[in-house]
Amino acid sequence: MKEPYLYLEGIKKLAESLRGDEVIHMGIRPYGFHAGNALAMVIYPILLCEECERLGKKVKFSFFVSLNDYEQDELDGPDYHRFPFNIHPKRTILKFVQDPSGCCDNIVDHYTPIIKDSVMLIKKTYPTVNIKFYETSRVKNNHYFKDYLLRTIENPLEQLSLYKKHTGREILNNPVFYANAVCPKCKSANGDIFIEKQKIHLKCKECSIISEGSYGEFDYWWYHKPMLVARYKIFNIEVSLSGGDHYSEGDFVIRNAFIKLFNSGLKSPKTFFSPMLLGLDERRMSKSQGNASYPKLDKLYKLAKQDYNYSLTATKDLVFNELGEDEYREHLRKIKL
Ligand SMILES: [Zn+2]
Ligand SMILES: [Zn+2]
């Protein structure tokens, strides 16, 4: 198995290995956007373009950016930190989470423009690249997506064995599921499901309604690790860019194992992991930790360009307040690298 490309040194090596016109995947949970996300989805992709051009390669990358509205609202389970593979959504998927600001239909609609405008800084800096965004729910009828998703629903145990084999983490025998249909009535993603003759049967544990229908009539929760292989397959991904937190979860090995498990016929993409960003409290920046803040992209870019470590630390002059959404939008309108 090839090695992943890591951090600033890795982006330089990756640039050396590319033609300049590859198809590149990035993804995000569209329920916020903070400086750590910006590092992985804006700053390092720009550094990749910069390195390629420095090597005399004109960049014509096609970026596919997945806005994963099929992600859980929050991960729940017996003990997420101790048993990271005995998990389920707390209640529902992001597509059905209310907009906390109250101005949009749901949280995905609220954060999508902020994410898009941030990622488009890559194109503002390198106009010859191509960037496309898509919500996961929009590709649910793709043949491979459907295939791998139904397999995940029907056979979670083979995925459990995969995690056991490749992570060495402690795993309980229950709960074990990595995908589910969403109750059309109350949007709970924790029902009892079975599939018979191509038909979904779902008994909701929340509202007790029994729903039956074809695959296309439902929305789904699908754990992002197996789902990623479907995304690779749909778009013929050659290069995958992710945040460093995924590297520490063992995703490089796990993704390759899923590529084999699904008999996808895929060549494993060249995989880059960016450094993690630590917040002002020196813990990994994430929305769930409560230490997320919007980035000053020009300053983050300067820091990333000179730092070779596996993690970078945010300082007060590098970020806006986490409530500074308007300030950040204004910054996005003016920013130029
Ligand atoms: Zn809104
Ligand atoms: Zn229900």
Angle at 246 between CA 119 and CA 86, to 5 degrees: 125
pLDDT tens for each residue of 210-253? 999 999 999 999 999 999 999 999 999 999 999 999 999 999 99
Residues within 5 A (CB) of ion ligand 1: 99, 101, 103-104, 110
- Output the CA 82–ligand 2 centroid distance in Å: 29
**Chain-centre distance for alpha carbon 238:** 17
Average of per-residue pLDDT values in the chain:
96
For position 323, what pLDDT does the model report?
A: 75
DSSP H or E run through 118: helix 107-119
- Output the CA 211–ligand 2 centroid distance in Å: 9
Phi/psi of residue 256, each to 5°?
A: -65, -35
Q: Which CATH code of 3.30.1380.10, 3.40.50.620, 1.20.58.760, 3.40.50.300 fits the domain covering 5-141+224-334?
A: 3.40.50.620
Q: Give the domain ranges of the chain.
A: 5-141+224-334
- Output the CA 69–ligand 1 centroid distance in Å: 15
pLDDT tens for each residue of 260-272? 999 999 999 999 9
Question: Is a pLDDT exceeding 70 seen at residue 198?
Answer: yes
- Which has more confidence, 60 or 2? 60
- Output the CA 191–ligand 2 centroid distance in Å: 8
For position 1, what pLDDT does the model report?
A: 58
Lowest mean pLDDT among 48-62, 260-274, 322-336: 322-336
244: left (phi over 0), alpha (psi -120 to 50) or beta: alpha
b vs e for 242-261, b when ≥16 Cβ sit within 10 Å of the residue's Cβ? bbbbbbeebbbbbbbbbbeb
| Residue closest to 94 by CA, chosen among 120, 127, 67 | 67
Q: Which residues pair with 201 in a beta bridge?
A: 194, 212
pLDDT tens for each residue of 135-189? 999 999 999 999 999 999 999 999 999 999 999 899 999 999 999 999 999 999 9
Q: How far apart are CA 24 and CA 22, in angstroms?
A: 6
Amino acid at 270: K
CB contact set of 53 (below 8 Å; sequence gap of 6+): 59, 126
Question: Is a pLDDT exceeding 70 seen at residue 285?
Answer: yes
Which residue bears the tokens 């909701």?
Answer: 204
- Output the CA 220–ligand 2 centroid distance in Å: 13
pLDDT tens for each residue of 303-328? 999 988 899 999 999 999 777 899 99
pTM: 0.96
Which residue bears the tokens 């859980």?
Answer: 72
For position 240, what pLDDT does the model report?
A: 98
